[in-house]
Structure 1
Amino acid sequence: MPPSVFRFAPSPNGYLHLGHAYSALLNFDLAVQTGGRFLLRIEDIDATRCKPEFETAICEDLAWLGLAWETPVRRQSEHFNEYRDALNELFAMRLVYPSFESRAEIAKLVAQREAQAPWPRDPDGAPLYPGAAKLLSPDERARRLASDAPCALRLDMAAARARAGDLGWIERGEGPDGETGAVTARPEAWGDVILARKETPTSYHLSVVIDDALQGVTEVVRGEDLFWSTSVHRLLQRLLGLPQPAYRHHRLILDGAGQKLSKSTKATGLRELRAGGATPADIRRLVGLP
């Protein structure tokens, strides 16, 4: 039986904090305990925020914690063609359409609708897409795509759900409301999610399922803030014929106010803690690991 494959996949848009340390250490420990493999993946599709110095710092911090990973490291920015191929598959299924509203225009549309009645929001609290881009004629879509107008490429959720059928996963950890065991996926709660933009041929949702499949990841161990994103990931896996990993969502490390840690929270930054004399054993103690 092939070994289990775990991964830690940070974005190099800032320095690591205690929450990252907990997730990385948990993945590494589980890989060691099961005789599995541990991968590091750099999720750097956001070219405006991701910096080489942050990637260097990530590797330094993880090595200081005592983690070792396989090389070469996969960087998403080097694999845009693979994400574009997957997007083209979904286009061929007529499950993707372009929307051309700006963020300001979308906010205005949401405000107009909320003046009439509460507008639905996704599990992260963001309003669902309120536009009518699906109703544009093929000629109008082609005209706008040929122009320099920016656009977002969205999944037609209703059509995708109809094609995919029932979806779910076995949760080995615990969701934010105590969900565990067999979980029913509800990707429709996210509305017509963005899978790519005209200038960037992928999004987190699309790239993460492609990466996990191509890297042979069998165990996805990540924070409970991504619990309901798994619904979208299961949908994309079904549509693209990708294997389903096992999922385990873990508790978050919170700050003194009970909020999720941010990369701007220097008090919990690994570099700051190291500079203050903390040891790897101190970090394990702080995040509640043996």
Structure 2
Amino acid sequence: MSHYVGRFAPSPTGHLHAGSLACLLASYLDARAHRGTWIIRVEDIDPPREPAWAAEDQLETIEAFKLHSDRPILRQSTRYDAYQEALDLLIGKGLAYGCACTRKSIEAACAAAGLPQGVYSGTCRHGTGGAPIRAWRFLVDDGVVSFPDRWQGTFKQNVSKEVGDFVIRRADGLWAYQLAVVVDDGFQDVTHVVRGADLIDNTPRQILLQKALGLPTPAYMHIPLVLDKNGNKLSKQTLAPAIDQSRPEEEAAHAWTHLGFKPFTFDTLEEFYSEAVQRWRVRFQISA
């Protein structure tokens, strides 16, 4: 399947940890099992959360596992003009609008409307009443978005009721993840997305944006999260330890078993990848 394009796209907010490695490994194996293209993208669109050292540290960690992008590495921080072009297109279609709401006013509107906290009630859909625009939102119609996930099965969400009109450019002027990821998946012709299950409820929003921008929808696979001893997702906030670059074979073996596969004996990473690709192919019924 030479048309297959997959990607690993970490946000450089800290060291890669065991959960990151599971996503790295799964995305790479799926691409190789399909005999496709595998690329790395640095999703550096949130400077306040990104230590200056993090992006290079993450790339060095990937290098320690002898994994290399099949194309030049794209950094989202170079793509702001493309995101603005997408926003302008959505505005022109009447699918995006300026929002003057603050976090406190959104919380108050949710309480008044009996909505779950965090669901945007559409206060600024018909204008801001002269108040200055703080953020830009995507206009969501009522209805269920459904897609088949290659790991989790069918996932459904009514974005209008569970999220509301969502932000695509933030009040601080930074680009929202939802818009950037859709624009760049389209730009890089990504056909398959393999990532953590914590992002599965983001996918319906991204599908809506893909349709609005005239972009194809990739096939999705959301792998199980790696949790700490308290059952929390590994993250910078939960002080997840960094991957030990000095023992990549052992770390790869741990990630492999997290993905639900039986361990096997190997001496080098090359041997590991060769065998793991074959087993991935069998499990997901991918023709050789």
Q: TM-score range by the shorter chain?
A: 0.7 to 0.9
The answer to whether residue 229 in structure 2 is matched with residue 256 in structure 1 is yes
The answer to whether residue 159 in structure 2 is matched with residue 187 in structure 1 is yes
Question: Is the alpha carbon distance of 1:36 and 1:255 closer, same or farther for their aligned partners in structure 2, counting shifts above 3 Å?
Answer: same
SS of structure 2 residue aligned to 1:216: coil
| TM-score between the two structures when normalised by the length of structure 2 | 0.81
2:238, 2:140 → 1: CA distance? 36
Q: 1:201-233: CA deviations, max 9, x gaps?
A: 521111111111110111100111111211111
SS of structure 2 residue aligned to 1:220: strand
- Tell me how large the CA RMSD over aligned residues is: 2.3
Give the corresponding residue for 1:217.
190
Identity of aligned residues (%): 33
Give the corresponding residue for 2:112.
113
SS of structure 1 residue aligned to 2:221: strand
Q: 1:119-165: CA deviations, max 9, x gaps?
A: 225xxxxx21246222436xx45x724xxxxx01111213xx5xxx8
Once the 2 structures are TM-superposed, how far is the Cα of residue 265 of structure 1 from its aligned partner? 4.3
Query: Mean Cα displacement is larger for which, 83-92 or 189-198?
Result: 189-198
Once the 2 structures are TM-superposed, how far is the Cα of residue 262 of structure 1 from its aligned partner? 1.1
Letter of the 1:27 counterpart: S
Give the corresponding residue for 1:233.
206
1:50, 1:102 → 2: CA distance? 24
SS of structure 1 residue aligned to 2:48: coil
Question: Is the alpha carbon distance of 1:144 and 1:280 closer, same or farther for their aligned partners in structure 2, counting shifts above 3 Å?
Answer: same
Give the corresponding residue for 1:144.
132
Letter of the 1:35 counterpart: R
Once the 2 structures are TM-superposed, how far is the Cα of residue 286 of structure 1 from its aligned partner? 2.1
Once the 2 structures are TM-superposed, how far is the Cα of residue 191 of structure 1 from its aligned partner? 0.7
Once the 2 structures are TM-superposed, how far is the Cα of residue 71 of structure 1 from its aligned partner? 4.0
Query: Structure 2 unaligned runs (5+)?
Result: 264-288
Give the corresponding residue for 1:282.
250
Once the 2 structures are TM-superposed, how far is the Cα of residue 65 of structure 1 from its aligned partner? 1.8
Matches within 5 A, 1:28-39: 28-39=28-39
**Are the equivalent residues in 1 in contact too, given 2:15–2:54 (CA < 8 A)?**
yes
Question: Is the alpha carbon distance of 1:206 and 1:104 closer, same or farther for their aligned partners in structure 2, counting shifts above 3 Å?
Answer: same
**Are the equivalent residues in 2 in contact too, given 1:169–1:185 (CA < 8 A)?**
no
Question: Is the alpha carbon distance of 1:10 and 1:134 closer, same or farther for their aligned partners in structure 2, counting shifts above 3 Å?
Answer: same
The answer to whether residue 80 in structure 2 is matched with residue 74 in structure 1 is no
1:102, 1:183 → 2: CA distance? 31
| TM-score between the two structures when normalised by the length of structure 1 | 0.80
2:54, 2:238 → 1: CA distance? 15
Letter of the 1:136 counterpart: G
Query: Structure 1 unaligned runs (5+)?
Result: 122-126, 146-150, 175-179
1:186, 1:41 → 2: CA distance? 29
Question: Is the alpha carbon distance of 1:35 and 1:83 closer, same or farther for their aligned partners in structure 2, counting shifts above 3 Å?
Answer: same
SS of structure 2 residue aligned to 1:157: coil
Once the 2 structures are TM-superposed, how far is the Cα of residue 60 of structure 1 from its aligned partner? 0.8
Letter of the 2:70 counterpart: E
1:154, 1:3 → 2: CA distance? 33
1:7, 1:72 → 2: CA distance? 12
